[in-house]
Amino acid sequence: MKDWLDRREVVRLAGAAGLAAGLTGLAGCAGGPEVDGFKLPPGKTAGEFEATELAPGVKLISGAGSNVLAVAGPEGAVMIDGGLVQHASGLIQRVQAETGSRKVARLINTHWHPEATGANDLLGAKGTPILAHENTRLWMGTEITSGWQDKVYPPRQAKARPTETFYTTRDIALGAEILQCGYLLQAHTDGDIYVRLAKANVIAAGGVLSGNSWPIIDWQTGGWIGAAASRSGPTFNNVEVPTYGGMVGALQTLASLADDNTRIVPADGPVLTKADVETQIVMYAAIAARLRDMMNKGLGTDEVLAAAATREFDARMGDPELFLTLAFESLWGHVTPDA
């Protein structure tokens, strides 16, 4: 993919991102304890569930290892993401209680990571339909070596894998509500999706969006930070940002689906607004441009870390070492350095 940003654009975006973050304030802290390598919301322990109503019949449940949306439907509840497997039983019971449902009628996976797919095993064994992107189904059926965790994930049991998949979009009627599912191309992984609840004006963004710390860019399963694909693009926080691919492009898609009243649910951390997402777009576009510039200069990962490419954001977002490592290495397979 051609990256249209030159060095002057790097400076312009970086300056604008610093201003935007200072004015609007990103939800910034390093996150809570880790469970299987994934951070929990600050002050929370996995298994201590907390429910928040986002709209009639729509509850956000935190404390399962990732944010989970529970949506009431005529045939039972729909779960969007499923927490860690060790908390699946309690989570499912809480979902049923919060929605007044006797069963979970459908589970949707926004990506393959274990902190979002723990309920697959129990619900899959009951024959509950599980919907995901096709790439998520494929990842869950193979052995995955996660270098950034120094861990190997074996294939998931057949019963825990998605039973329904799509490639671009999929709409699901749920009483008066429509669940609009769409692909977020090669962002956090290469199987990320969003789920937009049209009537409730709520969007489940999955792992593409992080509310309280730096996101994981899992380039070993197809994610990357992105690069500019055009010379011009939409304006966010009064800053024109070129149209991007990768994670920045996924955030641009989320912003395009939202209005000022939309509740946007990240994989972890607090619910965000369209303005919050726009702030992140400008910030991550600036960081991506800096990283590409460093790659063009022939820098290695250690040199990138020493250069502190996220310096003005670290106080809000936490220790950037893992994020910078994954973000920089994610560029290697996508962007050709300048001659």
- Ordered by start, the domain boundaries in the chain are 7-330
Helix (H) or strand (E) holding 75: none
The 8-class DSSP code of residue 272 comes to B
CA 213-150-49 angle, to 5 degrees, is: 45
Q: Backbone dihedral region of 17: left (phi > 0), alpha (psi from -120 to 50 degrees) or beta?
A: alpha
Q: What is the CA radius of gyration of the chain?
A: 19
Query: What is the distance between the alpha carbons of residues 83 and 91, in angstroms, rounded to a whole number?
Result: 8
Query: What is the distance between the alpha carbons of residues 161 and 164, in angstroms, rounded to a whole number?
Result: 9
Which residue, chain included where needed, has tokens 């999929």? 170
| Start-to-end CA span in the chain (Å) | 15
Strand ranges, E, within 33-76:
34-35, 38-39, 50-55, 58-62, 68-71
* CATH value of 7-330 in 3.60.15.10, 3.20.20.10, 3.40.50.300, 3.90.1580.10: 3.60.15.10
Q: In the prediction, which pLDDT does 182 show?
A: 98
State the Cα torsion 272-276-278-282 to the nearest 10°.
Answer: -130
Q: Where are the alpha helices (DSSP H) in the chain?
A: 7-24, 88-99, 120-125, 134-140, 246-257, 274-296, 301-307, 314-317, 321-330
For residue 18, CA distances in Å to 11, 73, 258, 266 come to: 11, 43, 23, 22
Which residue, chain included where needed, has tokens 């149209």? 243
Q: Measured on CA atoms in the order 21, 23, 25, 26, is the torsion positive or negative?
A: negative
**Cα–Cα nearest to 276, from 30, 31, 60, 26:** 26
DSSP string, 280-325: HHHHHHHHHHHHHHHHHTT--HHHHHHHTTTTTTHHHH---HHHHH
Q: Torsions phi, psi of 152, nearest 5?
A: -115, 125
Q: Torsions phi, psi of 179, nearest 5?
A: -90, 115
Partner residues linked to 68 by β-bridges: 61
- The pair of structure tokens assigned to 182 is 């769409």
How many residues are present in the chain?
Answer: 339
Query: What is the distance between the alpha carbons of residues 101 and 73, in angstroms, rounded to a whole number?
Result: 8
State the pTM of this model.
Answer: 0.88
Spell out, as residue ranges, where the chain has pLDDT lower than 70.
Answer: 1-47, 337-339
